[in-house]
Amino acid sequence: MADPFYLTTAIHYPNGKPHIGHAYETIAADVLARFHRQGGREVRFQTGTDEHGLKMAQKARDLGVTPRELADEMSGYFRDLFAKLDISHDRFFRTSEAEHHRASQALWRAMEANGDLYLDRYEGWYSIRDEAYYDESELVDGEGGDKLSPQGTPVEWTVEESWFFRLSKYQQPLLDLYRERPDFIRPESRRNEVLRFVEGGLRDLSVSRTSFDWGVKVPGHDDHVMYVWVDALTNYLTGLGFPDDTEEMARFWPADLHLIGKDIVRFHAVYWPAFLMSAGIALPKQVFGHGFLLNRGQKESKSLGNTTDPGELADLYGVDVLRYFLLREFSFGQDGSYSHEAIVSRSNSELANSFGNLAQRTLSLIFKNCDGVLPSVHERTAEDDALLAHVSRVVGKEMPVAYADLAFAQALEAWMGAVFACNAYIDAQAPWALKKTDFKRMETVLATLYAAIAQLAVAVVPVMPGSMDRLLGAMGVDAHQRDPAAILEEWYAALAGGDFRLAKPEGLFPRLEAPAQEPA
């Protein structure tokens, strides 16, 4: 297969159970992966969990388990969720895997060999209780003039031995990169932020810690573990077999897209390319920082008690409804606000009433009036041609362009426009009336709709794989025809001429009840 496409999500930090943001990012990546596979590209899609770092160590200690045990458990929740959400990743990555330690150390040695790592001392305000350094500006004044951390714990000026990465050396190379490849960081607003940050000057980065040991050991210095981001970012390489010269590395690196949340753009758009330049490794093609989902306009947090379990949403409304909602409702890249009412309303009006009902009424007419035999096309009118032209344009052109550009909401908006056109068409043609007056015309109308519905279904297979495969299966559309190119071809006559018989159609998307009360 040609044209490889390597796509990654951020590896998720499992110091808590997965939340809606994890689901959002991973579903979006999955849709993109499925879209490219559907178009014939050879896709490699990686997600996983980032298990090192201070917080995991602290949390494990609080719970009285080892970090590894905690990681095993928490990582499992992510795996389970992704299975439930129909995520089609090729690799679920865990930074605690042994080969990952080897890869991170190889990257480290490459940066060291390039003269970009040096041992020095890290000085700063350190809170023993928080096990963290704070910037002077973050400190608050306590009673008696003592300085306190933002958490109100005492801090003291501490000096620690640490390895540093010569980030300062990469200011100009990074600025050159951003200029030469304007699409390296998307969306534009994130790019501007990064640009300004780098233009403001870069300080060398402390990249090792001696205060805890849950991480990847620095080669030759066992008392140091790598700063979590060094090893976290390396996962994109390890997943392909780095540092070995694997077939996967050759085929899929550099990555086509790192899909991440807007909060970690800096690590991916500044540190990561600098590390790679230092190590002499090709840079990924694009970093896209998506927006956050807000619960009724508010950020979800445990203290507010407004967290949402994405698995529960999937159980409540259906995986495909949730997937559709998340991509349809928000402009990818911008923050968005969601609510149970919004999910129910979107699902009922678009999936149940508009598309589901279109399929149901069309297939029912064929089932009842033609005994399940797909009707022949006799003579197409201008109305038929106009409808098919509209649907083909959307399915064959507008949606692929939008998907490829991560403009999911636009793709689905165009899709809805085509669904509306089908409903307007069926009402104008009124095949139920033609049944008595012009049976042949009725057949042509139903055949036209059948082809249109199949095309519309194929177009949203990446978004709603389960439901659409069920529909297309019921419609007798072969698996190999379920891609935007094949479904635009003349497959209908062959199918109708064969011995395929339509069974009694079943509803695709049941209407949802509005939640009586907002769950706490």
Partner RNA sequence: GGCGGAGUAGCUCAGUCGGUUAGAGCGGGGGAAUCAUAAUCCCUGUGUCGGGGGUUCGAAUCCCUCCUCCGCUACCA
Q: Residue 86: exposed, middle, or buried by beta-carbon count in 10 A (0-12, 13-18, 19+)?
A: middle
The two tokens of residue 506 are 């079943």
Query: Is residue 491 involved in binding RNA (CB under 7 A)?
Result: no
Query: Is residue 391 involved in binding RNA (CB under 7 A)?
Result: no
Query: Is residue 390 involved in binding RNA (CB under 7 A)?
Result: no
- Prior bond of 18 cis (ω within 30°): no
Task: Select from 23, 394, 426, 472 the one that contacts RNA (CB under 7 A).
Answer: 426
Question: C-beta of 420: minimal distance to RNA in Å?
Answer: 4
Q: Taking the C-alpha atoms of 208, 283, 268 and 192 in order, what is their torsion angle to the nearest 10 degrees?
A: 130
Q: Say if residues 462 and 31 touch (Cβ distance below 8 Å).
A: yes
Phi and psi at 290, nearest 5°, equal -80, 170
Question: C-beta of 251: minimal distance to RNA in Å?
Answer: 28
Stretch near RNA under the rule CB under 7 A, chosen from 25-33, 205-213, 382-390, 457-465: 205-213
Query: Is residue 334 involved in binding RNA (CB under 7 A)?
Result: yes
Question: C-beta of 505: minimal distance to RNA in Å?
Answer: 8
Query: Is residue 507 involved in binding RNA (CB under 7 A)?
Result: yes
Q: Say if residues 477 and 487 touch (Cβ distance below 8 Å).
A: yes
Give the E-state strand segments of 281-377 in sequence order.
Answer: 287-290, 293-295, 336-338
Helix (H, G, I), strand (E, B) or coil at 95: coil
Query: Is residue 317 involved in binding RNA (CB under 7 A)?
Result: no
Query: Is residue 360 involved in binding RNA (CB under 7 A)?
Result: yes
Stretch near RNA under the rule CB under 7 A, chosen from 101-109, 152-160, 495-503, 508-516: 508-516
**Residue count, binding to RNA (CB under 7 A):** 67
Q: Residue 445: exposed, middle, or buried by beta-carbon count in 10 A (0-12, 13-18, 19+)?
A: buried
* Cα–Cα distance, 395 to 455 (Å, whole number): 7
Query: Is residue 487 involved in binding RNA (CB under 7 A)?
Result: no
C-beta of 57 vs 488, nearer to RNA = 57
Query: Is residue 463 involved in binding RNA (CB under 7 A)?
Result: no
Query: Is residue 21 involved in binding RNA (CB under 7 A)?
Result: no
C-beta of 114 vs 364, nearer to RNA = 364
SS (H, E, C) 43-94: EEEEEEECCCCHHHHHHHHHHCCCHHHHHHHHHHHHHHHHHHCCCCCCEEEE
Query: Is residue 408 involved in binding RNA (CB under 7 A)?
Result: no
Task: Select from 48, 67, 356, 465 the one that contacts RNA (CB under 7 A).
Answer: 356
Element (H, E) at 224: strand 221-226
Q: Say if residues 452 and 362 touch (Cβ distance below 8 Å).
A: no
C-beta of 285 vs 361, nearer to RNA = 361
In the chain, helix, strand, coil percent, each to 5? 55, 15, 30
- Which 157-196 positions form the footprint of RNA (CB under 7 A)? 167, 189, 192-193, 196
Picking from 251, 256, 250, 252, the residue whose alpha carbon sits closest to that of residue 181 is 256
* Cα–Cα distance, 254 to 281 (Å, whole number): 8
Query: Is residue 306 involved in binding RNA (CB under 7 A)?
Result: no
Beta strands 221-226; 217-218: pairing state: antiparallel
* Cα–Cα distance, 76 to 68 (Å, whole number): 12
Query: Is residue 55 involved in binding RNA (CB under 7 A)?
Result: yes
Query: Is residue 430 involved in binding RNA (CB under 7 A)?
Result: yes
Query: Is residue 205 involved in binding RNA (CB under 7 A)?
Result: yes
Query: Is residue 436 involved in binding RNA (CB under 7 A)?
Result: no
C-beta of 232 vs 458, nearer to RNA = 232
* Cα–Cα distance, 326 to 332 (Å, whole number): 9
Query: Is residue 427 involved in binding RNA (CB under 7 A)?
Result: yes
C-beta of 37 vs 328, nearer to RNA = 328
Helix (H, G, I), strand (E, B) or coil at 223: strand
Stretch near RNA under the rule CB under 7 A, chosen from 83-91, 362-370, 450-458, 472-480: 362-370
Question: C-beta of 294: minimal distance to RNA in Å?
Answer: 9
Query: Is residue 337 involved in binding RNA (CB under 7 A)?
Result: yes
C-beta of 5 vs 403, nearer to RNA = 403
Question: C-beta of 166: minimal distance to RNA in Å?
Answer: 11
Query: Is residue 359 involved in binding RNA (CB under 7 A)?
Result: yes
Query: Is residue 466 involved in binding RNA (CB under 7 A)?
Result: no
C-beta of 88 vs 360, nearer to RNA = 360
Helix (H, G, I), strand (E, B) or coil at 12: strand
Q: Taking the C-alpha atoms of 463, 468, 469 and 473 in order, what is their torsion angle to the nearest 10 degrees?
A: -160
Stretch near RNA under the rule CB under 7 A, chosen from 73-81, 111-119, 426-434, 489-497: 426-434
- Which 70-129 positions form the footprint of RNA (CB under 7 A)? none
Question: C-beta of 247: minimal distance to RNA in Å?
Answer: 29
Task: Select from 227, 252, 403, 450 the one that contacts RNA (CB under 7 A).
Answer: 227
* Cα–Cα distance, 32 to 391 (Å, whole number): 21
Contact set with RNA (CB under 7 A): 13, 50, 53-55, 132-135, 137-138, 167, 189, 192-193, 196-197, 200-207, 227-229, 232, 262-264, 266, 329, 331, 334-337, 345, 349, 352-354, 356-357, 359-361, 364-365, 368, 416, 420, 423-424, 426-428, 430, 432-433, 507-511
